[in-house]
Amino acid sequence: MISLKHNFIFIHPPKTGGNTIHNILKKYYEPNIKTLIINNSCGASQGVDFEINKNPLDKHSGYKQAKKALKSLDIKEEIRLISTIRNPWERIVSYYCWFNKTKRPNINAMKRWFQSNKLPPCTRFWNNEDPYFVVRMEHYDADLPQLLYKLSIPIPDNLKQIHKNCSNWKKEEVTYRDFYKDNQENYDKEFIKLIGDFYKEDIDFSKKLFHKKYEF
């Protein structure tokens, strides 16, 4: 969402840790943006919804849509866009596990599910705007304090306790890569390529953030 005082608009692509950022930034949002803290699969008070002038506002709005919904505010064109991004192969696994309330790898089930449940690339939410800062999900603990510093917002003492991962799979036992294996423990290369092709925009942008781009 948006803060004129701190000169930012936060765009939240799904499954990139955005609820944590909303929970930290909400007290700096404009007064006529009502932040609704709700329960979700992470637990009590871990979800976020918004209203502006008593009208619902999609927390996953793109940059242009958010600015249009907030046109009643005195928004300057140079307001800084901040956002988040995530390795697309892991992002899909996270969404699959959250959506289906599962923690078990099942490549055939995930492939069928993906056909009807594609998340847009993170970069698509920016509407060709060049972000001022992008929090990398892979380096969340380092990037989030840096973002707050750049926005001149105090870093909460309990920052590590605030962030909760809503994904259900047991990362200490399996990795997201295990979800791309068949019953013979072979990677489904066709599906891996499908994900890579569909999220090419995010992979290409990742070259700006890492020494090398996102890879499976």
Indicate the pTM of the whole model: 0.85
Q: Which domains does the chain have, with CATH numbers?
A: 2-208 (3.40.50)
- pLDDT score, position 52: 72
Tokens of 87: 């390795």
pLDDT category at 153 given cuts 50, 70, 90 is: very high
For 209, list phi and psi in degrees, rounded to 5. Answer: -105, -25
- pLDDT score, position 22: 85
Is the pLDDT score of 170 beyond 70?
Answer: no
pLDDT category at 50 given cuts 50, 70, 90 is: confident
CA distance to 3, 36, 204, 207, 216, per residue, from 20 (Å): 17, 13, 26, 25, 26
- Percent with pLDDT over 90 in the chain: 46
| Nearest residue to 201 via CA among 13, 65, 68, 10 | 13
DSSP structural state of residue 117: -
Instruction: Pick the more confident residue, 15 or 41.
Output: 15
pLDDT in tens, 102-142: 888 899 999 999 999 999 999 999 999 899 999 999 998 89
| Nearest residue to 163 via CA among 152, 148, 149 | 148
146-182 per-residue burial string, b: 16 or more CB within 10 A, e: under 16: ebbeebebeeeeeeeeebeebbbbeeeeeebeebbee
Is the pLDDT score of 205 beyond 60?
Answer: yes
